[in-house]
Homo-oligomer: A and B are copies of this chain.
Amino acid sequence: MINKDSPIPIYYQLEEKIKGQIEQGELKTGDMLPSEREYADRFEISRMTVRQAISKLVNDGYVYRKKGTGTFVAEKKIEQPLQGLTSFTEDMKTRGMKPSNRLIHFRVVPATSYTASALNIDEGAPVYEIQRIRLADGVPMALETNYLSESLNPRLTEEVVQSSLYDFIENKLNKKIGEATQIIESSIVTEKEMELLEVKKGSPVLIIERKTYLDDGTPLEVVKSAYRADRYRFMINMKRN
């Protein structure tokens, strides 16, 4: 189980062991982990070593600590394939989860130089700024801010963005979405993200910046999102040339 003669650090062996138990379903979402003392006694290792393993699992979102109670198995992270341009609403429905939005604001603002150049409009031209918390089964997953040209996308309203924006673009404005480029970065939550995503100060987030184009090449939107790293990860298949 734990091999003290192995050059692999003991905390890492324990971490992998618990991870394996979670992935194979021996430990299920919501289950309480044995205490540090129990692990230490069972494997004859120090509590420091156990703590190191558990802290790593907490950091990586496999388990979470509840003050004065214990450590519990967290829900599995959502594993989002990077194949195909899909909306959050579509993604969540595909995996049988209920998508919802909490609108932070919906307003028209003058385009900054960055947004203007991305949308190929004049600096200062009016753009919709739509900021929403995206939830899956009621849990905040991401803070998303979309910028779209007002003149190119009339009839966008607060009501529309309560559900899927892509649905509206495609089925109400009858535009054809073509492709997007997406940048993926890792960062630490800002204070605003921390509050809205209901995570702790210093928590990691996946930062996504997407530029979406219609099939005729017209820029449609610039989207900046911060996804909770404890609930979300990306997956991709790559082929060798």
Contact = CB atoms under 8 A, between A and B. Distances in A.
Given A7-B109, A8-B109, A16-B114, A84 B241 contact: yes
Contacts of A113: 16-17, 20
A13 B123 CA distance: 13
A129 B176 CA distance: 49
A236 B109 contact: no
Contacts of A178: 239-240
Contact of A16 (B60, B112, B177): B112
Interface string A60-96: 1000000000000000010100111100000000000
Contact of A229 (B59, B177, B185, B234): B185
Given A20-B114, A84-B240, A112-B16, A183 B235 contact: yes
A206 B186 contact: yes
Contact of A112 (B7, B13, B105, B237): B13
Nearest to A179: B239
A59 B125 CA distance: 29
A133 B129 CA distance: 42
With a 10 A CB-CB cut-off, give which of A82, A84, A115, A202 has the most chain B CB atoms.
Answer: A82
Interface string A172-209: 00001111111111111010000000000010111100
Contacts of A129: 7-8
24 contacts: A6-B109, A7-B107, A8-B109, A13-B112, A17-B113, A19-B114, A23-B114, A59-B187, A82-B184, A82-B238, A85-B238, A85-B239, A85-B240, A179-B237, A179-B239, A181-B235, A181-B238, A182-B235, A184-B236, A185-B234, A186-B204, A186-B205, A186-B227, A202-B202
B240 A179 contact: yes
A202 B188 contact: yes
A29 interface: no
A98 interface: no
A237 B180 contact: yes
A77 B209 CA distance: 14
Interface string A1-31: 0010011100001001101100100000000
B110 A6 contact: yes
A182 B6 contact: no
A82 to B, nearest CB: 5
